[in-house]
């Protein structure tokens, strides 16, 4: 297992940050974001489709620069693109909605990619760690299959395995409960709980979690901090009790979504 340095202060800190759309960064999805994430936090960011949740997480992961404002990750200015500082950015992992897998590679090969690219490991050297995560996520039977042979439920887990193989301290998960069936929803919620407490494959060290959603009710009793994206504004709500006491109409819609589905 790789050694990770300990950061004092916030892990993520944003002041006056604006977020552009990944496809057109001149289109702002959020403005004036002030947000702090500390070690051990478990955030859920809610918003309707098209509100910019995915763009926000991709900017947070460092895939693009903020359109304005100041963003530091582990005390370092983001985005981090230069090679010498890349290990800092690798301390944050991103799970894309749908996995964003390479269809010409097997499941094992997809999960091994970060180890081969960032750790310069051979396929043989990466294999043991890859297999450990495949088993932990119940993906062993599909190790030699390509992603196209899997349904969305399992593709999302492959994306999670690929993010976890580098042992991130902060994990961003885009819409993990979207488009999956009830059994898999329960699996995700339970597995994220384990990550938040400390998974054995991560040496028992708790992972700081940030997930996005369009449905809030599933996260009651799970996440500890909540925020919403609406009309290009990032609004920190606080605890679940504060979510329930808020009078915002959009928030009520986000709380109703799952009830309608059921």
Question: What are the pLDDT digits (tens) for 51-61?
Answer: 999 999 999 99
In CATH terms, 12-91+170-261 corresponds, of 1.20.1260.10, 3.40.50.300, 3.40.50.1980, 3.40.630.30, to: 3.40.50.300
Q: Are 18 and 71 in contact (CB under 8 A)?
A: no
Residue 4 has pLDDT above 60, yes or no: no
Q: Determine the Cα–Cα distance for residues 231 and 244; give it in Å rounded to an integer.
A: 21
Q: What is the mean pLDDT of residues 127-155?
A: 95
The overall longest dimension of the chain from CA atoms, in Å, is: 55
Q: How much is the pTM? A: 0.91
Burial 173-203 (b: 16+ CB within 10 A, else e): bbbbbbebeeebbebbbebbeebbeebeebe
Instruction: Give the pLDDT of residue 8.
Output: 56
Q: What is the mean pLDDT of residues 77-100?
A: 87
Ordered by start, the domain boundaries in the chain are 12-91+170-261, 103-167
Q: Are 175 and 214 in contact (CB under 8 A)?
A: yes
Q: Determine the Cα–Cα distance for residues 146 and 124; give it in Å rounded to an integer.
A: 19
Chain mean pLDDT for the chain: 90
High-pLDDT (> 90) share of the chain, %: 76
Instruction: Give the pLDDT of residue 39.
Output: 96
């Amino acid at each position: 297992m790789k050694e990770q340095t300990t950061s004092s202060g916030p892990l993520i800190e944003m002041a006056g940050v604006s977020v552009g759309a990944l496809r057109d960064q001149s289109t702002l999805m959020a403005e004036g974001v002030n947000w702090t994430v500390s070690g051990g936090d478990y955030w859920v960011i809610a918003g309707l489709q098209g509100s910019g949740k995915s763009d926000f997480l991709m900017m947070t992961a460092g895939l693009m620069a903020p359109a304005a404002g100041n963003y530091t990750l582990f005390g370092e200015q983001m985005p981090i693109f230069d090679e010498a500082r890349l290990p800092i950015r690798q301390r944050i992992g991103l799970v894309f909605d749908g996995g964003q897998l390479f269809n010409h590679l097997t499941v094992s090969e997809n999960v091994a990619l970060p180890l081969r690219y960032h750790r310069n490991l051979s396929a043989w050297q990466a294999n043991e760690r890859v297999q450990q995560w495949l088993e932990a996520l119940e993906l062993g039977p599909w190790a030699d299959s390509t992603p196209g042979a899997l349904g969305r439920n399992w593709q999302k887990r492959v994306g999670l395995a690929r993010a976890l193989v580098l042992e991130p301290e902060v994990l961003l998960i885009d819409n993990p409960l979207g488009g999956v069936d009830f059994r898999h929803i329960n699996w995700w919620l339970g597995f994220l709980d384990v990550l938040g407490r400390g998974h054995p494959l991560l040496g028992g060290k708790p992972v700081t979690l940030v997930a996005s959603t369009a449905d809030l009710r599933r996260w009651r009793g799970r996440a500890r901090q909540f925020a919403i994206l609406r009309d290009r504004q990032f609004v920190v709500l606080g605890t679940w009790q504060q979510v329930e006491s808020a009078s915002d109409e959009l928030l009520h819609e986000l709380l109703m979504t799952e009830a309608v589905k059921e």
